[in-house]
Amino acid sequence: MEHLFGGTGFVIMIIALTTGGWLINNWIRAKHGYDLEDEWGGKTSRADKSAEIESLRGDNAKLVERLEAHEDRLAVLEKIVTERGYSLSEEIEALRRDESSGIPLDTGRKERV
pTM comes to 0.34
Domain boundaries of the chain, sorted by first residue: 7-46, 47-95
Distances (CA, A) of 4 to 8, 9, 10, 14, 19: 10, 8, 7, 12, 20
Give the C-alpha separation, 44 to 40, whole Å: 11
Name beta bridge partners: 44: 36
Q: How far is CA 77 from the centre of its chain?
A: 27
Position 63 scores a pLDDT of: 95
What's the CA dihedral at 45, 48, 51, 52 to 10 degrees?
A: -40
The SS3 assignment for 16 reads helix
Q: What is the pLDDT of residues 41-56, one digit of tens each?
A: 666 666 666 778 888 9
Q: What is the pLDDT of residues 54-71, one digit of tens each?
A: 889 999 999 999 999 899
